[in-house]
Structure 1
Amino acid sequence: MAGWQGSNSSVSSNETDLTIGFTSSAIAVFLFGTNFVPVKKFDTGDGMFFQWILCTAIWIVSLIVNLIQNCPRFWPLAMVGGFLWATGNVTVVPIVKTIGLGLGLLIWASFNLLTGWASSRFGWFGIDPEVVEKPVLNYVGAGLSVLSTILFLFVKTDIQSSSSSSESTPLLREHSINTSERRNEIRNDVSWVDNFSPVGKRIIGCSLAVIAGILYGSSFVPVLYIKDHGRRNGTTYTGASQFDLDYVFAHFSGIFLTSTIYFLIYCAIMKNHPKVYPEAIIPGFVSGILWALANCCWFLANRYLSAVVSFPIITAGLKNYFLLSIAFCIILAGSLSTAFSKV
């Protein structure tokens, strides 16, 4: 009887973990898919000021989470993950300007998925390899998730040319669009990538997208490393928390610190005349809050599903929704195959 009760309790606990994990993944996918909606109609320029506002909001959310978690021990190594993410994030604007959001997202999401999944599955960078009951099913799931991204090549991107219609003009710019000062500002707002040929832009954009994807996919590795070594005796991290949200503050602090350093370097390069867009402050702050909540859910998904399962599920969902009806079956099959390979 005791054995039966123990088995029944184990099954119940596993079902609860799966429920929390899949729910967290679904919320993460939704928030990641909508976090840039608040800034869609506002000019963010070269993106450096916007990313700093975004990262400021991210850090504030982590501070609240840290207080809710009763201020768990701060592990500086977890900040490295924030550094990796923030470094990848500063490449987004050049990527969009060179190859567009559609192709850029396809490339960096694919490499994000592969890096995060493979590092967890095979134990790269000193973390413990994840053991799955059905490895073939796990490989099929990851493969199908990558395959589904190819379908999004056909999604029309929302990149706008300089001759865009007034219907797509940011609302706050319409009041001053006829002033000569504003026209000169717009005309002088040229990115460094604009000086390259179309072929050069494509090479730069694709290369940056690959780098961004690898950096995004590696951002959870420091936390996983601390957790894995926390279960061992005689290591620096012995006894470290096994609950992923306890590392949010350190991870997000790395994001904020790195973005601040990059912004200061940018200000120095611009000779203390950075391109600041005040109308993007509140939308950027809201966007940062949504992203932070999404990433907190991803931390929870890593905890209750493991990274080898959560990465294919969440990154496969980080796509444009226009072809959802076509890609749904493949994404669902890939996600379920990956998830049930662990059961």
Structure 2
Amino acid sequence: MTHVGMAMFMLFASSISCLTGWAISRFGIFGVPPAVPMSNLLNYIGIVLLIFGSAIYPFIKINVFRAVKVVDPHVKVLPMSVLSRTPEEAEKNSKKEDIDMNNSVMKVAAWIGTILVGLSLGVMTTPVTLLMTRHDIYPLSTEIKSSVSFHFSFFTGVMLISIVIFVLYCLVRKGRPSIPPKIVLPSMLSGVFFALAMSCFFIANEKLSPTISYPICMMAPGLVTSAWSVFYFKEISGRRNLLLLGAAYIFTLMGVLTITVSRIVEF
């Protein structure tokens, strides 16, 4: 988010996850039974629109430093190399370093990381889809009729991986993790929101098929995030950037709408 921006990170990662989830379901990748829509033509047109809209995002200029200053005018933006140090080391060296938003290497690495996040989100529900649909591989799953039955195992996996990552982080920090007290409760609350949203996501996959639900469920968070970025954090500003964002919005929303219609309209 430091080099891509909150809105661009979420929008681009959502676009990649949309395409990944759609491709897995549409073509039966990883053994998932292919879900063919009523209209292949509309489905493909929607994907083209989605790709075209997503291709606009990297050309939108963001200002992370300005976004942080809006939240707290007294805060100083520091690079990760400083944040990973002890408080004493960070204070000692903070005056010598600052974020270099023009660092092309870091920007490329940030965009690659964003793509990897999108790919990971795109395959997130594939194991549950396999368990529910491939009874030839998992015969015991024939007794399970709803995706809700898999929620406990899914969230248990999320919790275990989170604990492992946090333990590794504490080891790297030599037992001195950097955890601002004021973010603890908001983090827990966001976890509750995530759990509710993922439960609805599983149900949407079950009722609509991932071919339709992925584009809708993955793009909506990006649109909400970018609204915060524009209207509150002022991360995106300027006539050119706002016009590009608006064009990307239009193509993306048209793509999602066309993909949704392709399930029920034969054309």
TM-score (norm 1): 0.59
Q: Is the 8 A contact 1:109 1:315 kept in 2?
A: yes
Q: Is the 8 A contact 1:229 1:237 kept in 2?
A: no
Shift in CA distance, 168/156, structure 1 to aligned 2, threshold 3 Å: farther
Q: 1:201 is matched with which residue?
A: 106
Q: 2:157 is matched with which residue?
A: 254
Q: Is the 8 A contact 2:3 2:64 kept in 1?
A: no
Q: 2:263 is matched with which residue?
A: 342
Provide the rounded CA distance (Å) in 1 between the counterparts of 2:6 and 2:128. Answer: 29
Q: 1:279 is matched with which residue?
A: 182
Report 1:137-286 matches (<5 A).
137-153=42-58, 157=62, 159-160=64-65, 164=69, 167-169=72-74, 198-230=103-135, 232=136, 235-286=138-189
Q: 1:306 is matched with which residue?
A: 209
Local SS of the residue matching 2:65: coil
Report 1:25-44 matches (<5 A).
none
Identity value in percent? 26
2:198 equivalent among 286, 295, 308: 295
Provide the rounded CA distance (Å) in 1 between the counterparts of 2:68 and 2:74. Answer: 10
Q: 2:234 is matched with which residue?
A: none
Q: CA deviation at 1:165?
A: 6.6
Provide the rounded CA distance (Å) in 2 between the counterparts of 1:205 and 1:216. Answer: 17
Q: What count of residue pairs does the alignment treat as equivalent?
A: 234
Root mean square deviation, CA, Å: 3.4
Gaps of 5+ in 2: 76-85, 231-241
Q: Which amino acid aligns with 2:118?
A: G
Q: CA deviation at 1:225?
A: 0.6
Residue 315 (str. 1) matches residue 236 (str. 2): no
Bigger shift: 248-257 or 310-319?
310-319
Q: CA deviation at 1:138?
A: 1.0
Local SS of the residue matching 1:294: helix
Q: CA deviation at 1:162?
A: 11
2:12 equivalent among 98, 103, 107: 107
Shift in CA distance, 169/195, structure 1 to aligned 2, threshold 3 Å: closer
